[in-house]
Structure 1
Amino acid sequence: MAESESPYTPLLQAMQGPLMPKPISVTMKCVVAVIHITSIVLGALFIKDCPGQPLIPYYLIVWGSGSILLLCLTCLPCGDGREPPRISLATLCAQGVLFLFLFSFFIAGNVWIYSLYPESWDSPESPKQCNRVLYLYAFWITTICHICLMLLVLGLLCVFICLCVLKASLNLRSG
């Protein structure tokens, strides 16, 4: 085999290609951006309306801003269409640091949001009172994130099981 020829590697080519078609990717990024812009707006509008847990509005503002910044960083590697786009090391490091910050901030937000749940947070005389719109938005966005993470883990688990079964069946045929 000549040096200029590369062996046929469909898995490597599939990993280097986009995960989903561009229109679906753009649509999903727009939906995610709208959700995070809504988080920023609601956090800013109700910044003083949650005395039971005053960090919830700040959580929505920081989480929404950081997520939009991370979304913008994922849009950076735009190629000219002739060759696959390359991501710089600085961009990868910025994405990693921002992802770790958002992950730890997400955990803190869970503590702040779910700490009000069993109480009567909607009652004005409750010590854990919070604006209904602000709290319900933060609660459901966080809960939906948990559901999406669970579905992602289950999907990866299914792929792993399918790969193990495929490997076992290939070993049985060759052996």
Structure 2
Amino acid sequence: MSTNGTQLPSHNQTLVVDLTPNGSTSSIAVSDADYLGDPPGYEDIVPPEVPPPPYESLTGRVREVHKASNGTFDFIKNVVSVLWETLGSTVILGITIIVPICMLGFGLVFMRQCPKSKYIPVFLLVGGGLGIIKQLLHLSIRVRRRIEDRELEKLRQAPTHTIINCFLSSWFVIGSYFVYGVYEPNYDPASKDNYCNKTLYLFSFWLLTSIYVVLGIATIIFVGMAIVGTIIGFFSMLCGTKESE
């Protein structure tokens, strides 16, 4: 009898084992009844209808991408996509949590300190509050262990996220009008109606400006990757046509 390439003693065979320090040997009788069999496999323990555990590590995802990629260029493109989803999403998640909290705080602290544009604190309050609610909804999805539960919760929250995203997009445009429309206010409290707290205004101004900059950079990167992908696909098609001829 053998298992996993190892010869096991059959019934009535004698196994000789060195049991003493001086090199002497002893004989132990081993029968088939002592052999308990191979350890159970994954299929024997887990029911077939239960999906296998997810392998979400960065290394595992890169290996899967390598197996599924068609050529070097496709592999590089897919790896970049994986890195962006993994590292980029972590950075973005941190920013999207910190920024709404700061917006809410600035709106509360400087509520009545911008007569020049009294809606700037309101813009920060509403935007920050909805941003926090949005992140809490995301967090309620991420804390769920099973992938099926996450997907189900995403479907449940989809209408709410759509409404919040549409409102925040519109609110972003309205906030741009509130902030850029009064550029640049007087930072001297003695100016009364033309006054706006410098910290409040500069925070709002650079917050909006940085978002516009990030959107512009993301658009350029997206368009550039689309152009490069099109060029690579075109040359790959040409090479394939030449090889077929």
Is TM-score (shorter-chain normalized) higher than 0.5? yes
Aligned to 1:4: none
Native 8 Å contact 1:46 1:134 kept in 2: yes
In the TM superposition, 1:1-175 aligns within 5 A as 19-21=85-87, 25-26=89-90, 28-78=92-142, 79-80=144-145, 85-86=150-151, 87-118=153-184, 120-123=185-188, 124-125=190-191, 127-175=193-241
C-alpha separation in 2, matches of 1:127 and 1:82? 55
Deviations 1:89-131 (A, max 9, x none): 231221111111000000000000001114x432332643211
What's the % identity of the aligned pairs? 20
C-alpha separation in 1, matches of 2:229 and 2:110? 48
Kindly provide the amino acid, as one letter, of the partner of residue 186 in structure 2: W
C-alpha separation in 2, matches of 1:73 and 1:63? 15
C-alpha separation in 1, matches of 2:148 and 2:174? 41
Structure 1 unaligned spans of 5+: 1-7
- C-alpha deviation, 1:59, in angstroms: 0.4
Native 8 Å contact 1:47 1:57 kept in 2: yes
C-alpha separation in 2, matches of 1:82 and 1:112? 42
Aligned to 1:5: none
**Structure 1 length as normaliser, TM-score?**
0.79
- C-alpha deviation, 1:140, in angstroms: 0.7
**Larger Rg, first or second structure (1 or 2):** 2
Kindly provide the amino acid, as one letter, of the partner of residue 110 in structure 2: F
Q: 1:84 to 1:9 in 2, by over 3 A?
A: farther
Kindly provide the amino acid, as one letter, of the partner of residue 151 in structure 1: I
State which drifts further: 87-96 or 151-160.
87-96
C-alpha separation in 1, matches of 2:197 and 2:239? 63
**Structure 2 length as normaliser, TM-score?**
0.58
Q: Secondary structure at the match of 2:140?
A: coil
C-alpha separation in 1, matches of 2:206 and 2:113? 18
Size of the aligned set, in residue pairs, is 163
Kindly provide the amino acid, as one letter, of the partner of residue 146 in structure 1: Y
Native 8 Å contact 1:116 1:128 kept in 2: no
C-alpha separation in 1, matches of 2:100 and 2:229? 35
Native 8 Å contact 1:53 1:112 kept in 2: yes
Structure 2 unaligned spans of 5+: 1-66
